[in-house]
Amino acid sequence: MSREIVSKFISADRRGATLRNLLAEKRCLRFLEAHNPISAILAENASQTVGGQKREYDGFWSSSLTDSTARGKPDIEVLDIKDRLGNVNDIFEVTRKPLIMDGDTGGKPEHFAYDVRSLERLGVSAVIIEDKTGLKKNSLFGNDVFQQQESIEDFCNKIHIGKQAQISTDFMIIARIESLILDAGIDDALTRADAYVGAGADGVMIHSRKESPDEIFEFAKRFRQQHPTVPLVCVPTSYSSISFEALEAEGFNVVIYANHMLRSAYMAMKTVADSILFSGRTLEVEPSCLSIKEILELIPGTK
């Protein structure tokens, strides 16, 4: 059944405040990567009933990795935030849920201040910036490539400048800690977390590239002893066997599924492209494709 276009209208202020409101209402939130409007529509309308309980995504994650990949560019901060705002605006035109922005390193502090204002003005709920410096490399490479953490003092200054730039109290700046990614250890991660929260960070994201969640669970336990109410975020790309419920039980407040919409979509497209060439027709790929009828019903206002 077609949905009315008007049902998607929501003010920037109202959307921007949604994340804080959800964090006050729910113990843990699910966010799914969306790299274009159609992936956001699919994420917004996805729902499952499991054990009598309805499950749905609480919002979207705008990933620098998937935004870069969708444009055929490397994930090395080639696209800055302003290069990605048009895509976010297109997503906002057809959805209602909140969005968290992957802000990479945040760039220079003076530039970050302007980015914060741009994101807040558009209705983005939060930006996550990572405590690395220099040419950005994807965190899952770890120490296989050269990556360097920014000094605690400099990163705290960036957080402080960003907080000073925002207009409302709704917008959130979340500090992403790379200590476990770069094998600096949990003590270093906790030291940084304390400093970043002290500098004004509204939340902390702890990242890990290990298949076991043990180190993030230990971090969460010790972090909660010092900061019982500060939102804690994780991205279980590497430790994918761990359930949402287990992460919630360990004290996480936001779980981000950071790249799965793009990874699944492009695998399917590659398979379909190869199959059409092999078969010389499209009959064989039709079961793998969304029907035209479903496409027409998915997009508001088409009928």
In a domain, 291, yes or no: no
The CA distance from 242 to 216, in Å, is 12
In a domain, 274, yes or no: no
In a domain, 118, yes or no: yes
Residue range(s) defining the domain that contains residue 49: 5-260
pLDDT of residue 69: 93
What CATH number is associated with residue 205? Answer: 3.20.20.60
Residue carrying the six token digits 């230990």 = 218
pLDDT of residue 142: 58
In a domain, 68, yes or no: yes
For 127, the 3-state DSSP assignment is strand
Residues recognised as catalytic = 75
Please give the tally of structural domains in the chain. 1
In a domain, 22, yes or no: yes
Q: What is the distance, to the nearest Å, from the Cα of residue 70 to the centroid of all Cα atoms in its chain?
A: 16
Contact at 8 Å (CB) between 171 and 125? yes
Q: List the chain pLDDT tens, one digit each, 303 residues.
A: 344 544 568 999 999 999 999 999 999 999 999 999 999 999 999 999 999 999 999 999 999 999 999 999 998 889 989 899 999 999 999 999 999 999 999 999 999 999 999 999 999 999 999 999 987 767 766 566 768 999 999 999 999 999 999 999 999 999 999 999 999 999 999 999 999 999 999 999 999 999 999 999 999 999 999 999 999 999 999 999 999 999 999 999 999 999 999 999 999 999 999 999 999 999 999 999 989 888 888 876 766
Maximum Cα–Cα distance across the chain: 63
The CA distance from 150 to 141, in Å, is 17
In a domain, 299, yes or no: no
Q: Which of 231, 224, 244 is nearest to 22 (CA)?
A: 231
Residue 51 identity (one-letter amino acid): G
In a domain, 170, yes or no: yes
In a domain, 295, yes or no: no
